[in-house]
Amino acid sequence: MKKRPLGNSELYVSELSFGCMSLPQNKIAAEEIIETALQAGINFFDTADLYENGKNEQLLGNLLTRHRDKIILATKVGNQMNQDGTSWSWNPSKNYILTAVKDSLRRLQTDYIDLYQLHGGMMEDDVDETIDALETLKKEGLIRQYGISSIRPNVIERFLQNSAAVSVMMQYSILDRRPEEWFGMISDFGASVITRGTLAKGFLTMDGFHRAKKAAGFGSYTSSELQETWTALNEKTEDIHAAAIAYNLSTPAVSSVLVGASTKNQLLDSVLAYEKGEDASVLQDIRNAVKLDRYAEHRTNYKNATNS
């Protein structure tokens, strides 16, 4: 599997990466999925302290500890669990981040985190304090690099402009092209994109038409538009799943495409789709056949926003 640099950093991540949020809590089933990912050449694993209230990190730590020197391990911070254990509050403060990282390190059974990501963000945040916390952790060797997970252009711009962040995780797919307008900005700041939601909740798989018939819609697409779009895409490509992954990887701004799986077979489907790929001419036909929406809110006037 090919690798790409994460922003301007020394970290090289597999083009296909594994999002651990849907990893089953059953250790045997989870281990089978993780081993399948490793055998396929996936080296980038992403989790968050919020997932399963820390249990996802703990499970991942148990499964990856013997492979630690071969993988790029990412987690996220900023959502502090409340006392009830079922809800959380946004907390990007320095004190919280410096405490939360120690809990993540313990659960992940590691001395350092390769990529530590701010799990959201608002313009009301004291971004300088947050960045100071991340820079402190980097100097102490507890994290190698840091980034942000956000879909808000103004939040992303301010964070990148004031920091040495190397990545932005964003929901991006053939059915949600809103991030494309901001890829130039992200690249200008020396960062790259990690895409989540690449398969658009399964609508961009061979089962997508049946899913669309049962759904109320997706993004700006109504249910009928989803069905029509899936049919149009199916006429342009032999494998919508493969095209969805190849589409995201067709832009240099993207370093890795994050996929999730709750079974070994689901992951294998994505690995095979990645290996199959799609021709550039087909991807251009697909690009011309779908909407190019833009974020209506949280905009910025950055000079290198894409005009197309």
- What are the beta bridge partners of residue 79? 90
Q: What whole-number distance in Å separates Cα of residue 167 and Cα of residue 184?
A: 13
What does the alpha-carbon distance between residue 65 and residue 108 come to, in Å, rounded to a whole number? 8
Q: How far apart are CA 207 and CA 213, in angstroms?
A: 10
Buried b (16+ CB within 10 A) or exposed e, 209-239: bebbeebeebbebeeebbbebbeebeebbeb
- Residue 146: active-site member: no
The catalytically annotated residue of 12, 51, 96, 116 is 51
Assign 3-class secondary structure to the chain. Answer: CCEEECCCCCCEEECEEEEHHHCCCCHHHHHHHHHHHHHHCCCEEECCCCHHHHHHHHHHHHHHHHHHHHCEEEEEECEEECCCCCCEEECCCHHHHHHHHHHHHHHHCCCCEEEEEECCCCCCCCHHHHHHHHHHHHHCCCEEEEEEECCCHHHHHHHHHCCCCCEEEEECECCECHHHHHHHHHHHCCCEEEEECCCHHHCCCCCHHHHHHHCCEECCEEHHHHHHHHHHHHHHCCCHHHHHHHHHHCCCCEEEEEEECCCHHHHHHHHHHHHHCCCHHHHHHHHHHCCCCCCCCCCCCCCCCCCC
What residues act catalytically? 51
